[in-house]
Amino acid sequence: MLNEDVLYLPVRELGKRIRAKQFSSVELTESFLARSERIGPQLNAYATVTSERAMELARAADKEIAAGHYRGPLHGVPYAAKDLLAVKGYPTTWGARPYANQKFDYNATVIEKLNRAGAVLLGKAAMIELAGGMNYRFASASLTGAAKNPWNEGCWTCGSSSGSGAIVSAALAPFAIGTETWGSIICPSAYCGITGLRPTFGRVSRYGAMALAYSLDKIGPMGRTADDCALVLSAIAGHDPLDRSSLPEGEASFPYSAPLPTTLKIGWLTNAWEKPDLEIKSATQDAIKVLAQHGAKITEARLSEGPYEIAAGTIVGVEGAAAFRSLIESGRVADLVDPLGQISGYVNEQISASDYMRALQIRGICQKKIDALFDDFDVIAAASLPIAATTLETNLETDLTFADPLGGIGNLCGLPAISVPCGLTSKMLPIGIQFVGRVRNDRAVLAAANLFQQHTDWHKKRPPVA
Amino acid sequence: MSNERTECADISRRSFARRAALAAAAACLPRELIAGVEATSSPPQQQGEEKLSPEGQDEAEAKIQAIFHKYGDRLSEAQKTDIRRLVTEGQKPLETMRKFPLDNADQPGNVLRLYPDAAAIRGTPSH
């Protein structure tokens, strides 16, 4: 078995070593499977480990590489996929009891694309039931129980890509696929001390993925570095006629070979969080200083004010109620684990068409205003969250006190964003900083994250999980 | 930081979704229908809670009754109380959103695209 130092290497390095035959994909896959089987259950990280399929894919990868058919940097590299992505022959539970036995006879486009890149699926990552589409009150809102944070198993990973966060953080896989409607990549990445990319809306096909909010759902990579996320994005991005929201090929594809730019104009947001914890504030300010020292031009910036979060929430509510109409009307929502999940669908059904249209019109205005901000900046930046990971028992509903205008606007307008680790609290919990870019400018957010990671080692820190 | 703190960004989304989650559909229900639905008593307004306008209260009540009319037989009393709270909390953000000035020319920012696009049509036989 390969040792932990190898399992914590970034995707690019693993790919290089496989190609150089320092170890085989089979050896690497066996090592990640063994670690996943040992540590995965204690973190509630996986919904399903697909060992047999993984070994088949790994053997095929080794055979192809030996024959000189090298597919690229993901060839032979293992990964996990959130359990809302269809994988032929395996359960796709959407993290929810009503779908515990659900199977599809096809693969999601993302899975197909990763197959074509030669990546090796290790398993389906645990997730919050229905990706939080029916709301939830507790971290335990999942078919597989609360996902535990590798940095402190008494703390949560955040959701809804909870297993994806735990898996990458604990080196059960070098990267995982997550999804975000609002916060579900950025938050677990920040809580778990990993790097997570939310691509521009429409860049990555959602075909074969559970729908939560048709006009907000995005699929993206979670890994160790921005470079890893860029490599994975380049494999999974691209137009797909099977996804009605897919961007045209010229806008959807993400060729990644040239070096990322290092001269960046960054707007440091002064109104993203009202009262971030002092340790978060200090760590993110230090991060900005690092960027300034290495060529980035930093200027303070402000988000435009308006009812953008309410508009985003209205759209999530309406589209979620539509996406799960049969679950709501049949009463099977009662089978969800979370008490809030059992009733919120009924409430969301009551949103009027008038209010939904108003929210869409407000989105149009918000798109123009946020786009104008990017005339002055390549990216805007703020703490990923104003706090670090919360306890597993926290009542998420009653203890919410802060607004999230950047998350609201970023998701409402389909903007790309990335969260990278930038510190640890005194309780050894990860802190994240996020960079948000103009629509289609995923390259800029990756560049900012990459610049930061070239000059820091927060992304190399390992949690105490064993 | 203290483990007693309990917030997270994704939670924020849920909360806003919840608060924004209700509007006028129920207000369209005929009065006689609403009157025929068993009503649970309204809880007293919480201290410090922003008060809804009378119209807002009526609208919230109509939505609550619409839910109870359609789904009441499958809901426990505790769930009904929770639904009443969620609907009431969700009303104020909607009122805020409705105050935002919009003109006839403000097109919806609908990011969904027409399907199939021109390129796809060229590559596929006609249906």
User: Helices marked H in A216-297 — which ranges?
Assistant: 226-236, 249-252, 278-293
How far apart CA A179 and CA A131 sit, in angstroms, is: 8
Q: In the annotation, is A161 catalytic?
A: no
Q: Which residue of B lies nearest to A136 if distances are taken between CA atoms?
A: B14
List the catalytic residue out of A25, A36, A164, A184.
A184
Residues of chain A contacting B60 with CB distance shorter than 8 Å: none
pLDDT digits (tens), chain A, 466 positions: 999 999 999 999 999 999 999 999 999 999 999 999 999 999 999 999 999 999 999 999 999 999 999 999 999 999 999 999 999 999 999 999 999 999 999 999 999 999 999 999 999 999 999 999 999 999 999 999 999 999 999 999 999 999 999 999 999 999 999 999 999 999 999 999 999 999 999 999 999 999 999 999 999 999 999 999 999 999 999 999 999 999 999 999 999 976 788 889 999 999 999 999 999 999 999 999 999 999 999 999 999 999 999 999 999 999 999 999 999 999 999 999 999 999 999 999 999 999 999 999 999 999 999 999 999 999 999 999 999 999 999 999 887 668 999 999 999 999 999 999 999 999 999 999 999 999 999 999 999 999 999 999 999 999 998 7
Q: Which residue of A lies nearest to B87 if distances are taken between CA atoms?
A: A347
Q: From the list A187, A249, A358, which residue is nearest B10 (CB)?
A: A187
Nearest-Cα distance to chain A for B113, in Å, is: 5
Q: Which of A159, A158, A118 lies closest to A11 in space, CA to CA?
A: A118
- Segment (H or E) for A78: strand A78-82
Phi, psi of A294, deg, nearest 5: -115, 35
Say if residues B62 and B22 touch (Cβ distance below 8 Å).
no
Q: In the annotation, is A160 catalytic?
A: yes
The per-residue DSSP string of A303-372 comes to: PPPSTHHHHHHHHHHHHHHHHTHHHHHHTGGGGSSSTTTTTHHHHHTT--HHHHHHHHHHHHHHHHHHHH
Residues of chain B contacting A190 with CB distance shorter than 8 Å: 9
Q: For chain A, what is the mean pLDDT?
A: 96
How far apart CA A165 and CA A221 sit, in angstroms, is: 10
Nearest-Cα distance to chain A for B126, in Å, is: 15
CA A412 to chain centre: 16
- Contact at CB, B23 and A360, closer than 8 angstroms: no
Can you tell me whether residue B103 is helix, strand or coil? coil
Query: What are the residue ranges spanned by the domains of chain A?
Result: 4-460
Nearest-Cα distance to chain B for A320, in Å, is: 10
List the catalytic residue out of A160, A161, A189, A384.
A160
Topology of the domain covering A4-460: Amidase signature (AS) enzymes (3.90.1300)
Give residue-wise pLDDT tens across range A423-432: 999 999 999 9
Whole-prediction pTM value?
Answer: 0.91
The total of other beta-carbon atoms located within 10 Å of residue B30's CB is 8
Q: In the annotation, is A326 catalytic?
A: no
What is the predicted ipTM? 0.92
